[in-house]
């Protein structure tokens, strides 16, 4: 099973595994209670905690209740980071992100950072899971290595219930169950005459439950507004053919915050014509740049992806790479 690295004092690892002894169910999540910890439940979710009164060392785990969500995994992570982390403690940097993963139909994103809370400092980690039009978050916070083993055991016990239906209750095709390109893929270019004064950035998020999200951000230094296209739908895979079936698509106009390429206020929103497209897809490794690309090919340019890439390694193609520090995913409003 795929393992996702988390930042927690040191880079701990966890996996979503089969049921453990003494498993406790809480909504869509199950876990094993660390021995000697306290459990407190409220309307917002669940808190597990332990404290050493002599030294002041502590560790806290917060599990939210699953809530309805139409946002992407990235949107849900950013929202939870602001609401659950930044409003609780002072983080000293942007979160260090781990590679996204997929388990039981959920897209999982995690990241962590150092924090201060008065005279106390420590490390906080956030994990969000998005799938089946729902989102759930887990926060781990500690100011000591004393409870490292407890936290590792807790992470190893986490399990998410399997999602049985797709976007907004639409049952997805069984052909999408075993995809090897689930996750986030991005493409950034200065095409369409924008040159060095702007760029176009496209982003796909493919979920293991057969749903997808697509975003396109257009920035031009000479224009006051930013353009954001948002689309969601389902997809089917047959051999090397990928068919996208959108259920909604809108183009939004946003003001530019502080006169840079950061979304400010929503100014306009217009529905787009839905475009069902079938692509030939390939995962290709470019050894020169040491990067995997998801290559999509079609018979003609699409409204969704724009003009074909000038890279002729594949004919009539677009090249999407996985997000990295130098190539981050779109930061949505």
What is d(CA 124, CA 116) in angstroms, rounded to the nearest whole number? Answer: 10
Q: How many CA atoms are closer than 13 Å to the CA of 157, on its beta-carbon side?
A: 18
The residue among 31, 136, 150 whose CA lies nearest residue 80 is: 136
> Residue 287: left if φ>0, alpha if ψ -120 to 50, beta else—which one?
alpha
**Which of the two residues, 126 and 11, has the higher pLDDT score?**
126
Nearest of 93, 77, 208 to residue 137 by alpha carbon: 77
pLDDT over 80 at 265, yes or no: yes
d(C-alpha 139, C-alpha 141), whole Å: 7
The residue-averaged pLDDT of 306-323 equals 92
Pairing of strands 4-8, 10-14: antiparallel
pLDDT in tens, 21-40: 568 888 889 999 999 999 99
Both tokens of 237, joined, read 């895979």
Q: Which carries the bigger pLDDT value, residue 119 or residue 218? A: 218
pLDDT at 141: 94
Place of tokens 């497209």: 277
Q: Could you tell me what percent of the chain has a pLDDT over 70?
A: 86
Average pLDDT (159-166) is 71
In this prediction, residue 164 carries a pLDDT of 58
Residue 177 has pLDDT above 70, yes or no: no
φ/ψ of 104, rounded to 5, equals 55, 35
User: Does residue 170 carry a pLDDT above 50?
Assistant: no
How far apart CA 125 and CA 213 sit, in angstroms, is 25
Q: Given a cut of 80, is residue 168 above it in pLDDT?
A: no
Q: Which of 91-105, 144-158, 168-182 has the highest average model confidence (pLDDT)?
A: 144-158
pLDDT, the chain, mean: 83
Give the bridge partners for 41, in sequence order: 46
């Amino acid at each position: 099973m795929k393992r996702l690295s988390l930042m927690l004092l040191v880079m701990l690892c966890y996996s979503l595994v089969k049921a453990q002894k003494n498993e406790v169910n809480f909504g869509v999540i199950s876990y094993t209670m660390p021995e000697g910890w306290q459990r407190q439940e409220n309307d917002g979710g669940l808190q597990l905690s332990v404290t050493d009164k002599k030294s002041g060392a502590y560790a806290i785990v917060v599990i939210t209740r699953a809530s309805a969500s139409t946002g992407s995994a990235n949107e849900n992570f950013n929202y939870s980071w602001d609401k659950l982390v930044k409003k609780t403690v002072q983080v000293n940097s942007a979160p260090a992100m781990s590679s996204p993963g997929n388990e039981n139909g959920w897209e999982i994103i995690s990241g962590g950072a150092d924090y201060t809370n008065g005279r106390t400092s420590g490390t906080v980690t956030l994990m969000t899971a998005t799938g089946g039009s729902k989102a759930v978050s887990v926060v781990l916070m500690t100011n000591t290595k004393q409870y490292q083993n407890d936290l590792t055991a807790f992470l190893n016990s986490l399990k998410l219930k399997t999602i049985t239906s797709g976007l907004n209750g639409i049952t997805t095709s069984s052909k999408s169950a075993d995809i090897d390109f689930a996750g986030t893929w991005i493409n950034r270019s200065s095409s369409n005459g924008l040159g060095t004064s702007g760029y176009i950035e496209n982003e796909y998020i493919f979920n293991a439950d057969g749903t997808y999200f697509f975003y396109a951000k257009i920035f031009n230094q000479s224009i006051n507004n930013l353009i954001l296209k948002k689309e969601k739908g389902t997809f089917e895979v047959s051999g090397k053919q990928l068919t996208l079936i959108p259920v909604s698509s809108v183009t939004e106009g946003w003001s530019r915050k502080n006169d840079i390429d950061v979304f400010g206020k929503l100014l306009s929103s217009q529905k787009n014509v839905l475009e069902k497209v079938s692509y030939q897809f390939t995962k290709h490794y470019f050894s020169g740049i040491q990067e995997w690309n998801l290559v999509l090919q079609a018979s003609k340019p699409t409204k969704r992806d724009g003009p074909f890439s000038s890279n002729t390694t594949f004919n009539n193609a677009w090249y999407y790479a996985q997000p990295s520090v130098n190539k981050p995913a779109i930061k949505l409003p």
